[in-house]
Structure 1
C-alpha cells in the first residue's frame, strides 16, 4: 500500500500552495502597476493636452489655460522679447541675457508674494539662468539658445522612439486620460493618434531645422525672433489641431 509519508505534502497541496503564492505575489504587482498608471495619468492631466479630455469639445478658454493665461504668456515671451530688443540696440551679450534673467527673478517674487504656484516661474528662471550663464562664459549671444535646442531634441527623440515602439506618445497620453488602454486595437484611433504624434515630431524638427542654422551662422537676433514665433504661437496652434483630431475620432467611436 502506497501513500504520502507523514509530514510530506501531496502534489495537489503543493499546487494549491504555489497558486496561492502566485496570487499573493501577483496582487502587489497589479497594485504597483495601477499606482504607476495613476501617477502617469495625473501627469497627463497636468499637461496642456490634458486640459481637454479626448472626445470633449475644445474651447478657447482651455487653449488660453494651456498657454498659461496672461501671466504664462508674459513669463514665456517677455524674456525672449527683451533679449531681442536689448541685443538689437546694444549688440552686447551681458545686458542682453542679464535683463531677461532679472525679469525672471521678478516673476518668481511676484508668484511668491501672491501665493500662486511658484514652480512654473522657478523652472523658467533656472532655464534662463543656465542659458545666460553659458552665453556669459563663452561671450557668444547665440549660446543663450543652446538649452532650447537640447529640450527640443529630447522631445523629438522621445516622440520618434514612441512611434518606433508602435506606441505613439499622443495615444499613450489619450489612453491615460480616458482609461482607454485598448486604443491600439482600434484602427481609426491608432491612425489618428499616430498622425498627431507625427505632427508634434514635425514641430520640434522644424524648430531645430530653422534655428540651428541661424545658431551656426551666429545670427543671434534672427534666432531670438524665430524662437518667439515658433514658441508659444506654434505650440498653441498645434495643440488646437491635436485636440480637434483626437476629439473627432473619440466622439465618433462613442456615438
Structure 2
C-alpha cells in the first residue's frame, strides 16, 4: 500500500459569503463582495455605545417616551434672589420717600432698578426679574409723577393686590385653587393633584389664606391711600410685603404637608 502523495493532502478552505448573505451575528457587513472570504473581525479600538445606553432606552434612569422637562417656573423667576431683586426698587422708594420727598425717592427707585439689572448681568443671573422690577417701578414712578403725589406710587400695587384677591377667590369657586396651580407649576409638576380630594381641600384653604392676605392689603392700604397718609402707606407697604407673605407661605406649606401625611398609608 503506497503512501499518499504530499500534494494530495486535503486543504481547508474558508467559506465564501455573498454580500446578500446576513452575517451570523446579525450586524451589517460593510464592504462585503461576492466570493470574498470571511476574515476575523478587526479589533475595535474606538469607543462604542450600546443601544441600551442611548437616551430613552430605559437604562439611563429616564422613562421611555418621556422628554426631559424644561426650566420650572421658579427657575424662570430667577429663584429666591430673583424675587427679592424684583422688589428692591419699591423698597428703596418707600425708605427714601419717608426720609426725604417724592422727587429724590423716584430717582432713587429708578437708580436701584438699574443697579439691580447691572448686578445680575455681571453675575450672569437671569435678568427677567430685574427687568420686571424696573418696568414695575417705572410704571409706579410715572403714576406718581403724573399725580404729583407719593401715594400715586403705591396705586398700581394696590390695584394689583385687588386683582390677585379676586383671582384667588374665583379659582376657589371653580375648584382650581391658585395655590395648588402655582405650587406645582413652580416645582415643574403636573396638575394631577386635583384628583386627590385631600390635596384639593388643602390647596383650597391655602388659596383662601392668600385671598385674605391680598384683601387685607387692599383694605388697609386703601384706607391709608384715601387718608393721604403717604408715610404710613409706605410703611404699611413694607410691613405687608415680605412679613405677611412669609406667614402665608408658611401656612400654605403646613396645610399641604398635613394633607400629604394624611394621604400617605402607614406601614403595618
TM-score of the alignment, normalized to the shorter chain, above 0.5? yes
CA–CA separation in structure 2 for the residues paired with 1:66 and 1:235: 16
TM-aligned CA distance change 1:141 to 1:173, over 3 Å: closer
The TM-score normalised by the length of structure 2 is 0.64
Supply the distance in 1 between the matched residues of 2:172 and 2:240 (Cα, whole angstroms).
24
2:66 aligned partner: none
Alignment partner, residue 221 of structure 1: 231
The answer to whether residue 87 in structure 2 is matched with residue 76 in structure 1 is yes
Count of aligned positions = 195
For 1:54-69, what aligned pairs fall within 5 Å after superposition? 67-68=80-81
Is the contact made by 2:161 and 2:218 (CA closer than 8 Å) also made in structure 1?
A: yes
Q: 1:169 to 1:73 in 2, by over 3 A?
A: closer
Over residues 157-181 of structure 1, what are the superposed CA-to-partner deviations in whole Å (9 max), with x where a residue is unaligned?
2111111212222233456655462
1:113 aligned to which of 97, 118, 122: 122
Note closer, same or farther for the CA distance 1:148–1:187 as it changes in structure 2 (3 Å cut). Answer: same
Paired position in structure 2 for 1:103? 112
1:120-199 equivalences in 2 (<5 Å): 120-173=129-182, 178-179=189-190, 181=192, 183-199=193-209
Q: Distance in 2 between matches of 1:196 and 1:202?
A: 10
Equivalent-residue separation in structure 2 for 1:171 and 1:235 (angstroms)? 16
Q: Take 2:165 and 2:138, find their aligned partners in 1: how far apart are those partners?
A: 24
- Pick aligned residue for 2:99 from 65, 89, 93: 89
Larger Rg: 2
Unpaired runs of at least 5, structure 1: 1-37, 49-64
Provide the rounded CA distance (Å) in 2 between the counterparts of 1:103 and 1:187.
45
The DSSP-based 3-state class of the residue aligned with 1:242 is helix
Deviation at 1:135, TM superposition (A): 0.7
Question: How far apart in 2 are the matches of 1:227 and 1:239?
Answer: 18
Q: Secondary structure at the match of 1:116?
A: coil
The answer to whether the 8 A contact 2:92-2:112 is kept is: no
Q: CA deviation at 1:226?
A: 0.7
Quick check: 1:236 aligned with 2:268? no
Q: 1:105 to 1:179 in 2, by over 3 A?
A: closer
- 1:189, distance to aligned residue in structure 2 (A): 2.5
Q: Give the number of the structure whose residues are more often helix, by fraction.
A: 1
Preserved CA contact (<8 Å) 1:160 1:201:
yes
Is the CA contact 1:80–1:224 (under 8 Å) kept in the aligned structure 2?
Answer: no
Deviation at 1:210, TM superposition (A): 0.6
TM-score where L is the length of structure 1: 0.67
Partner of 2:228: helix, strand, or coil?
A: coil
How far apart, CA to CA, are the structure 2 residues paired with 1:203 and 1:47? Answer: 25
Q: Report how far residue 187 of structure 1 moved.
A: 3.6
1:204 Cα deviation from its structure 2 partner: 0.4
Superimposed CA distance per residue, residues 221-240 of structure 1 (whole angstroms, 9 cap, x where no aligned partner):
11111111111121122112
